[in-house]
Amino acid sequence: MATTLTLPAPAKLNLFLFINGRRQDGYHELQTLFQFVDFADQLHFTARSDDAICLLTEFDGVPAESNLIVKAARLLREKTGCQKGVDIRVDKRLPMGGGLGGGSSNAATTLVGLNRLWQTGVDIDTLAQWGLTLGADVPIFVRGKAAYAEGVGEIFTDAAPPEPWYLVVVPPVAVNTGLVFQADDLKRDTPKRPITSIKAADWANDCEATVFKHYSVIEKVFSWLVEYAPARMTGTGCCVFAEFNSHVAAVATQALLPPQWQSFVAKGVNRSPLHERLAVCD
């Protein structure tokens, strides 16, 4: 009988995002704080008797060969010399292009999950290093701990921010991250400071003004949400989140949302649901 391993690929939020400048290579120096939420895609990995890597779930506009899930599986085989195969099925809940890290989280869960299923025995730090070649956010999901990030997002410091409830609203628009970081009006001059000294009262997102200028519906969502609770945009958008002290308060505000806006309520967690699940499997 085939062996199947089912693991979550959780969303992340950028609790703040400061841009300190643009480097000569075009990348941006930034400071941010990543936290996970208990809202996730579910990935199902089923061992095959041959060496084929088969993604059984279709993603609109993303050929399987270009999907980070397939790329992560092939990367792990290439690095380890493993010759095993897998069928992968995805229960997709995270919106694509929402700033929640869905693609990166899928890739990280694939690396971590197949490392377990194929028994390749690679340590987490090495998996995170390999994951960086797939995307800047992949290592945070591989590591599975809330963390400050600096540099271009590759220098981590473990963090333990409060774990409130969030109402996350998904505006009906996809933000082009590349265009945001290329925009002339992007704020790039926030002074760098010791990252652990940045207080919650100072948390903000330097991308918001540029994104709001080009995507008015995101500004509209933000303006609505901030009337009820402290709110920010995550990453380069499109998702906007507000934090609440209780599940009841978050759900009550969700009930007031205009019906055309998608949303979900989730708990902030400092240990990834992926690693919580793996601990149960041990």
Show the domain range for 239: 165-269
Share of the chain above pLDDT 70, in %: 99
Tell me the whole-structure pTM to 2 decimals: 0.94
Q: Indicate if 12 and 117 belong to the same structural domain.
A: yes
Is residue 12 among the annotated active site residues?
A: yes
Q: Indicate if 145 and 169 belong to the same structural domain.
A: no
Q: Indicate if 147 and 179 belong to the same structural domain.
A: no
Predicted confidence band at 282 (pLDDT cuts at 50, 70, 90)? confident
Question: What confidence tens digit (pLDDT) does each residue in 218-235 have?
Answer: 999 999 999 999 999 999
Q: Which residues contact 201 (CB under 8 A, 6 or more apart)?
A: none
Lowest mean pLDDT among 62-66, 99-103, 271-275: 62-66
Q: Indicate if 10 and 150 belong to the same structural domain.
A: yes
Dihedral-angle region of residue 68 (phi above 0 means left; psi in -120 to 50 means alpha; beta otherwise): alpha
CATH of the domain at 174: 3.30.70.890
Number of domains in the chain: 2
Q: Indicate if 177 and 136 belong to the same structural domain.
A: no
The 3-state DSSP class for residue 30 equals strand
Q: Indicate if 170 and 137 belong to the same structural domain.
A: no
Q: Indicate if 209 and 83 belong to the same structural domain.
A: no
Is residue 79 among the annotated active site residues?
A: no
What pLDDT score was predicted for residue 109? Answer: 98
Residue 2 has pLDDT above 70, yes or no: no
Considering 38, 41, 84, 137, which one is annotated as catalytic? 137
Considering 12, 38, 41, 84, which one is annotated as catalytic? 12
Q: Indicate if 154 and 174 belong to the same structural domain.
A: no
